Structure 1
């Protein structure tokens, strides 16, 4: 057995203990989801100009966790026929500090005949603000906001924003509500997993190099957003246990068994942001149909090969055995 095979075996046998009681976790999320289940989205949609004649774009806003207006693109092919069947929808979330970008970023999904609902993450690089109260100090970045008060925390807000993004996408014209996939990389991969675990409207998940997996390990080792939490704890060591408990409610290590739909995950073995020890810890606890793509020589990146793998995975889910 060579070194690559040994490493694969090690990762495949990685089963750290959950960091929260499953009943406590499920009860919390059932109450949170019920509280927001009947809250209106207050959705507003207006056409947006595009230089691409075969693309129609609408700028959509919907209310997130705390009535923060969340901005999104709804993108579809231009001038569909009146008798056209509803189409699958790809809901996408950006990586940390990023934004939803320009609509043409998602042209490959339109080429497959899909629609796209591309969402900002509050407060980061896009148009979306953040109405959460800033009750205490934070470390540079966003994720330590409200980290000791779960119902006023940044993680609670962005997760519920993502859950409600799926609800908003399901109401767009031309969308097949039974064929909604959540897709993203890094932060976007983590939010895709969380949305898939918490919103039953999700039919498939592609989570590339996902964050928010085995978060206690991440705050010890990661060099990106979870390091912000490490720096916060460095300043406030007396809050360590409280913060670890807080993170456990959003950790895919704990939420993985809730996923009940097909999921593809990718992992770069040289990734120091979303390390394989975190991703495999969550992946190994998933009970749904699942696939993983290993890239032993990749870091924190999603290469073209993996982008195509994600496309082929969703084609199998939504269009049977179509091959290319």
Structure 2
């Protein structure tokens, strides 16, 4: 597939004028305050993983609405002193999987927390967390239009709040250094990472790969691939909902929430990516408020730098979590 978006020199300057909700700060402050009325109640139960060098714990904590959210915490088996931590959020449709599946950051010597994504986990990796607050309104199959007519009911309000609580949960573990916590993820996980960067003001770093959930107005009109096309298909039927839908999405746009961030960030982008178009990634990058850098992979799609970029991320995290 050829490069289809703007030339790189234009991408580096692309800063779209996005409609920022006037009550954005109040909306998220109230959401998190409401959630924190529920005891975090984080528990860490040993779980067998078949690995000799990593210990895994089955994690449960109270997310949005006090709902139980699952996760894995991986720790190096041989460790001394409190560890820096990396919280990982997952791509669209995936769940936390099995206990041995995602352990890269524990192999690098960190506490590695993998958050299950509510209501997902039947696409490419299994999940264990339901979404009890799923709105009963009509939606396009998938998650993108679940509750999309009202920001208070929208699916990602619950997910982003869960993600903030995941940071709080890992910080509550006695073997984690609460001052040195970074977040990461690819695609949907990258978008969640950007949201958390805008909602948690004392992270050590944010490594966001090909972030999804950014610059919704451009993404939904530029590509016809899922998941963005779920929104387009919904609006093709609900023709009178366009303004309401994009008003809701503005509360969850990584290119908007990232303007609130203070943690340093590492982005990645593939210039042949028709899932998260390059311009939408650069929209988030160019609007990101804190220190930042971006790795550009000209001939890569949604995989971006893949294993090569993992090397770059490990090097970058080592500098921030030392």
Q: TM-score, normalised by structure 1?
A: 0.91
Secondary structure of the 2:159 match is helix
Question: For residues 77 and 144 of structure 1, what CA distance do their matches in structure 2 show?
Answer: 39
Q: CA RMSD in A?
A: 1.7
Partners of 2:150 and 2:19 in 1: how far apart? 18
Aligned length: 311
Q: 1:281 aligns to what?
A: 283
Q: 1:37-87 deviations in whole A, cap 9, x for unaligned?
A: 34311223211112112211110111211232111001102254xxx3211
Conserved? CA contact 1:46–1:59, under 8 Å: yes
Q: Residues 143-198 of structure 1, C-alpha deviation per residue, up to 9 Å, x if partnerless?
A: 21111122122111111111111111111231110111111100001001111110
TM-superposed deviation, 1:106: 3.5
**2:195 is the counterpart of 1:204:** no
Unaligned stretches of 5+ in structure 1? Answer: 320-324
Find out whether 1:53 has 2:55 as its counterpart.
Answer: no
1:316 deviates by: 1.1
**Per-residue deviation, residues 116-149 of structure 1 (Å, max 9, x unmatched):** 1101111111111110143212111122111112
Task: Give the corresponding residue for 2:29.
Answer: 30
Contact preservation (8 Å) 1:43, 1:63: yes
Shift of the 192–155 alpha-carbon distance from structure 1 to 2, 3 Å rule, reads same
Matches within 5 A, 1:169-188: 169-188=170-189
Q: Deviations for 1:76-99, whole angstroms, at most 9, x for unmatched residues?
A: 02254xxx3211111011100011
Query: In the TM superposition, what are the counterparts of 1:57-136 in structure 2 within 5 Å?
Result: 57-78=56-77, 80=79, 84-125=80-121, 126-136=127-137
1:156 aligns with 2:157: yes
Q: Secondary structure at the residue paired with 1:75?
A: strand
Q: Secondary structure at the match of 2:169?
A: helix
**Map of 1:305-316 to 2, 5 A cutoff?**
305-316=308-319
1:154-303 pair list within 5 angstroms: 154-222=155-223, 223-302=225-304, 303=306
Question: 2:141 is matched with which residue?
Answer: 140
| Structure-1 separation of matches of 2:277 and 2:228 | 12
Q: TM-score, normalised by structure 2?
A: 0.92
Superposed CA offset, 1:281-306 (max 9, x none): 11111121101011110001141111
2:124 corresponds to:
none
- CA shift digits 1:7-65 (9 cap, x unpaired): 221111111112124x4222222222233334311223211112112211110111211
Residue 15 (structure 1) aligned with residue 15 (structure 2): yes
Name 1:304's counterpart in structure 2.
307
Q: Distance in 1 between matches of 2:216 and 2:145?
A: 13
Q: Give the whole-Å Cα distance in 2 for the aligned partners of 1:248 and 1:305.
A: 33
In the alignment, which residue of structure 2 is the partner of 1:39?
38
The answer as to whether partners of 2:202 and 2:262 remain within 8 angstroms in 1 is no
Per the alignment, residue 322 of structure 1 pairs with none
SS where residue 124 of structure 1 aligns? coil
CA distance in 1, matches of 2:42, 2:83: 20
SS of 1:149 mapped into structure 2? coil
Contact 2:213 2:254 survives alignment (8 Å): yes
